[in-house]
Structure 1
Amino acid sequence: MRVAIVTESFLPHMNGVTGSVLQILRHLERLGHEAHVIAPSALGAPGQVSGARIEAIPSLPLPGYRHVRVGTSSSSRIAASLRRFDPDVVHLASPFALGWRGVLAADSLSVASVAAYQTDVAAYTERYRIAATTGLAQTHIARLHRRATLTLAPSAESAGQLAELGVDRVRRWGRGVDAERFHPSHRSLPLRAGWGAEIVVGYVGRLAPEKQVEDLAALRDIPGSRLVIVGDGPSRPRLERLLPDALFLGHLEGAELATAMASFDLFVHPGESETFGQTLQEAHASGVPVVATGRGGPLDLVRMGIDGWLYRPGDLEDLRLRVADLAGDQRKRHAFGEAGREGVQHRGWASVCDQLLEHFDEARTLHLSDVRARARRIVRPEPPLPVAPRRWHRYVALGDSLTEGLCDPAPDGALRGWADRLALLLAARGGLHYANLAIRSKRVRDLCGVQLERALELRPDLVSILIGANDLVKHRVDIAALAAEVEDAVRRLRGTGADVLLVTPFLPGRRAASIYTRRFAAFATALAGVAARTGAILIDTDLHPELADRPNWGEDLVHLSSRGHRFLAYRAGELLGVPDADALGVLDAALHEHEPVGAGVWWRRHALPWVWRRLHGRTAGDGRNAKHDDYVYLGRSAAPRGAVVR
């Protein structure tokens, strides 16, 4: 079997996701399968692991967690990588930003995909309050896992969370534990003597907000005990101030980690956003009893009163009582530790990875049935849209030259464009008041300023936003700041009750444009987060790689041609629930298939005027007004008498 792995995290950053991927690669190599890994680039990342080539994808640091990288490549680039490898199945390890592109790429190549839900991203974003570059919420999680052929949940609670989001085809799949590395025999008396405590209460994990390590302050002054913390992360300086009596060992791995774990007397885990809890298994394998919060993964890993205690989530007094109970009873600690060790014997990585291969086989079978069903026009149900379909009466388009309609002339010489065409589609359902405030060369700050204020005056119930391309091709750009500006505009519009159609900027399929691919992909990822948090309707143009094809671009090679504008309009109409929009698009394309694509006068008409404007500090939009600064009525008859459009 040929297995491609798209992972959000990989070496040199070691965490649960990286550890799982490494174990999967070793197992695939042992059994003679071929593997290929697509992972975010990072200094010190290997080029090959267990016979698998590691393809590094451009990445950005995660805000607040600088050594964690977020992949930013487009789905078309990932699809090209997958096409070269030709996998039988694509495994998405804890899919998030890069994983979304991965599932789109697998879709485009008609390859089965298996998504492993390992990180509760919605809970993380809530605790971090992170920038739009990485923010994703529940609607995005649902969309991603619904698109995958099969989803693997590590615990019963996480499977339930996915079911509530409308994710079907969920199977249980946990993580293995190395019961030879983590073993009671590694307990070190000299190490314990150096810690200077009769009873050692240990914690292992990232020192980050989502781990809730600050809750361990409730364990102060338990007689004879000392808190020993293994791990590192952005919260460490604050935790060292909050827990002055605790011993912070920093990041440990390998034999050092196994020795430290076995030398604990009991293990505590306060994080409430764990989908699994790998360190709980490692503590049990080390013969150490566990006290963990009664939420998420620990519910499946800790047997209450047998190998540990679960305390009521958020009840720090209950946490203290549970720890004090074990700290004061050596016989109970020993009995719980032995039971924990016995309980993980069947969870070795070989067994767990064999189960994964079975899931891969099932996904391939399901994918084949999906392909056959589509051939018979039996469509797998899609998850509900974040905004219920409705008929709109007042539509305002915001943006730059793409929304103004450059390179899409009407018979009378006026500009049309995708937004005008979308307005006509929407008007066919009973009439529509339409305004187009877009002006060529405008940037995010222009849309979030004059255009936004005018749109608010018009009180629309639908607004489209396509902006950012002119910012992203500048010499320097702050993608997170741009996304934050767009998010503020979307929130203001949503606050009036309007639906917002948010379109990710895109590039032509030209070599010269490829230097901006990373920026456009990062901004698209940011806009996915904006849509998820605000309830905006997202057109992710990465879903439609054919938009980059040369016939969809005008003779200036930077604006859509009439064909491209039509294509985008029908994709938007399809998303907004316009009846038969896809069929209309196919018919429209057939009627215009013989239109010529011009490019012969590109330098004279477009390149040289652009250079002249740059030299004189001007833009093509200087002094221009919006083509429809107020509503025009589109319908079979005039606007109803007395109709209020503002």
Structure 2
Amino acid sequence: MDRDGSYRTAAVPIAPRSAITRLLIVTDAWHPQTNGVVRSLSAMGRELRSRHFEVNYLTPSRFWTVPLPTYPEVRLSLTPPGAVAEQIAASGAEHIHIATEGPLGLQARGACLERGWSFTTSFHTRFAEYVSARVPVPTEWSWAYLRWFHAAASRTLVPTPSMMADLAGRGFTNLTLWSRGVDTEAFSPGEKSWFTGLAGPHMLYVGRVSTEKNIAAFLDLDIAGTKIVVGDGPQRAELEQRFPDVLFLGYRHGDELAAIYRSADVFVFPSRTDTFGNVMIEALASGVPVAAHPVIGPIDVITDPAAGVLDEDLKAAVVRALALSRTGARRHAEGFTWAESASQFSNALVDKVPMPKAQAV
């Protein structure tokens, strides 16, 4: 990543200048954060550059930041008046995509509306439920903010059909599908090199360790074997104290993370608030069946009974998923490609031209 927040892949051949399409992605979530938003936006950059896009990111790395209360690894940008608009204009972008609804996204939205620039947005997080899990704010208030924020976009990209239906029912408009992919070379079946000596089966969770992820529902399960948690977050200390028999590994990356995935016997995804769940397809690509609740996210990802089990009884889902083959999990993951995801993303982009006055609200 460059100092200015852009993310470049030097190995991609550069097309003649006249053939390059310039895209600016505005996001409050960026490296060194480890989450699905950052992974998805980074993957889009790599894939789109191979299609003659010049992709730059407007991120918190360009500004002073302060930690988000109760979640210090997420940092909020402190931007002087007009700074975001100036950087958007200086980018020369032909397309603007606002990925998040935080301080940078909010200022970018305002700058675009003031100048009559069209833009797209994407819906990554059930922000309303996340806020209510931490502070006593009615979810209706948060949903009203999200609806207002995305209403000005020419299109809002949504990760799954079920999430799209949910948002449409809440009054969101101009919705279009943008699914996710997985690197099937980085995540693949192989030798089970981790957890040697630990009682099996080995049940794995990967992701943020926070209240809205419902991890305690997994760790509370009365089931033989070893539970493993990869990731970090504000709830980790509490859960480590409550569940001393659980193996907490913190953040792991690259080859080490891939080895942990393929060493598991089942991947447990207890969240009821995710919009997709990238970690599920990383597990599937590693040959690990998934156990989850039948809610938004899992119902769109685990569509093949050979890949995983959805059940309101999470213990029953885990037991049945342990009986599935690794081959079925891997085969299902191969249907999720970043190439298809990038096609959906690029097809949804709009030119940065003045929008009709009726939309500029």
Gaps of 5+ in 2: 1-20
For residues 267 and 81 of structure 2, the distance between their equivalents in structure 1, rounded to whole angstroms, comes to 42
1:562-611 deviations in Å (ceiling 9; x for gaps): xxxxxxxxxxxxxxxxxxxxxxxxxxxxxxxxxxxxxxxxxxxxxxxxxx
Gaps of 5+ in 1: 42-55, 313-317, 383-646
1:323 aligns with 2:318: yes
Q: CA RMSD in A?
A: 2.3
1:116 aligns with 2:119: no
Change (3 A) 1:201 1:70: same
Q: Which one of the candidate residues 59, 64, 73 is aligned to 1:67?
A: 73
Q: How is 1:132-531 mapped onto 2 (pairs within 5 angstroms)?
A: 137-185=142-190, 187-189=191-193, 191-194=194-197, 196-220=198-222, 222-223=223-224, 225-303=225-303, 305-312=305-312, 318-327=313-322, 332-334=323-325, 337-360=326-349, 363-364=350-351, 371=355, 373-374=356-357, 379-380=358-359
Change (3 A) 1:358 1:102: same
CA contact (8 A) 2:159 2:276 kept: yes
Q: Which one of the candidate residues 53, 57, 64 is aligned to 1:58?
A: 64
1:107 aligns with 2:107: no
For residues 282 and 78 of structure 1, the distance between their equivalents in structure 2, rounded to whole angstroms, comes to 34
Change (3 A) 1:131 1:295: closer
1:29-68 deviations in Å (ceiling 9; x for gaps): 3233222211113xxxxxxxxxxxxxx1332211111121
CA contact (8 A) 1:63 1:131 kept: no
Corresponding residue of 2:3: none
Corresponding residue of 1:18: 38
For residues 326 and 24 of structure 1, the distance between their equivalents in structure 2, rounded to whole angstroms, comes to 31
Corresponding residue of 1:459: none
TM-score, scaled relative to structure 1: 0.50
Corresponding residue of 1:431: none
CA contact (8 A) 1:217 1:242 kept: no
Change (3 A) 1:111 1:346: farther
| Number of residue-to-residue matches in the alignment | 340
CA contact (8 A) 1:63 1:130 kept: no
Q: Which has the bigger relative contact order, CA under 8 A and spacing at least 6?
A: 2
For residues 151 and 305 of structure 2, the distance between their equivalents in structure 1, rounded to whole angstroms, comes to 38
For residues 120 and 264 of structure 1, the distance between their equivalents in structure 2, rounded to whole angstroms, comes to 28
SS at match of 1:144: helix
For residues 159 and 140 of structure 1, the distance between their equivalents in structure 2, rounded to whole angstroms, comes to 17
SS at match of 1:151: strand
Cα drift, residue 325 of structure 1: 3.0
Q: What amino acid does structure 1 have at the position aligned with 2:346?
A: L
Q: What amino acid does structure 2 have at the position aligned with 1:96?
A: G
For residues 93 and 277 of structure 2, the distance between their equivalents in structure 1, rounded to whole angstroms, comes to 30
SS at match of 2:274: coil
For residues 26 and 359 of structure 2, the distance between their equivalents in structure 1, rounded to whole angstroms, comes to 24
SS at match of 2:199: coil
Cα drift, residue 131 of structure 1: 9.2
For residues 161 and 96 of structure 1, the distance between their equivalents in structure 2, rounded to whole angstroms, comes to 22
For residues 32 and 265 of structure 1, the distance between their equivalents in structure 2, rounded to whole angstroms, comes to 41
For residues 217 and 192 of structure 1, the distance between their equivalents in structure 2, rounded to whole angstroms, comes to 17
1:332-362 deviations in Å (ceiling 9; x for gaps): 321xx322211222322122112211111xx
Q: Which one of the candidate residues 23, 35, 58 is aligned to 1:3?
A: 23
- Bigger mean CA offset, 240-249 vs 259-268: 240-249
Cα drift, residue 11 of structure 1: 1.1
TM-score, scaled relative to structure 2: 0.88
For residues 294 and 120 of structure 1, the distance between their equivalents in structure 2, rounded to whole angstroms, comes to 17
For residues 75 and 139 of structure 1, the distance between their equivalents in structure 2, rounded to whole angstroms, comes to 25
CA contact (8 A) 1:61 1:70 kept: yes
CA contact (8 A) 2:290 2:321 kept: no
For residues 284 and 264 of structure 2, the distance between their equivalents in structure 1, rounded to whole angstroms, comes to 11
CA contact (8 A) 2:152 2:359 kept: no
For residues 184 and 358 of structure 1, the distance between their equivalents in structure 2, rounded to whole angstroms, comes to 33
Q: What amino acid does structure 1 have at the position aligned with 2:205?
A: Y
Cα drift, residue 174 of structure 1: 1.4
Bigger radius of gyration among the two:
1
Cα drift, residue 324 of structure 1: 2.5
Change (3 A) 1:381 1:160: farther
For residues 40 and 210 of structure 2, the distance between their equivalents in structure 1, rounded to whole angstroms, comes to 20
Change (3 A) 1:306 1:160: same
Q: What amino acid does structure 2 have at the position aligned with 1:348?
A: T
For residues 137 and 28 of structure 2, the distance between their equivalents in structure 1, rounded to whole angstroms, comes to 18
SS at match of 1:180: coil
The structure with the greater share of residues assigned to helix is 1
SS at match of 1:175: coil
Change (3 A) 1:95 1:174: farther
CA contact (8 A) 2:291 2:317 kept: yes
Corresponding residue of 1:38: 58
For residues 125 and 15 of structure 1, the distance between their equivalents in structure 2, rounded to whole angstroms, comes to 17
CA contact (8 A) 1:206 1:233 kept: yes
For residues 265 and 78 of structure 2, the distance between their equivalents in structure 1, rounded to whole angstroms, comes to 43
CA contact (8 A) 1:273 1:296 kept: yes
1:518-566 deviations in Å (ceiling 9; x for gaps): xxxxxxxxxxxxxxxxxxxxxxxxxxxxxxxxxxxxxxxxxxxxxxxxx
For residues 136 and 109 of structure 1, the distance between their equivalents in structure 2, rounded to whole angstroms, comes to 28
Corresponding residue of 1:470: none
For residues 34 and 304 of structure 1, the distance between their equivalents in structure 2, rounded to whole angstroms, comes to 37
Q: Which one of the candidate residues 54, 60, 83 is aligned to 1:77?
A: 83
For residues 359 and 15 of structure 1, the distance between their equivalents in structure 2, rounded to whole angstroms, comes to 23
For residues 39 and 380 of structure 1, the distance between their equivalents in structure 2, rounded to whole angstroms, comes to 26
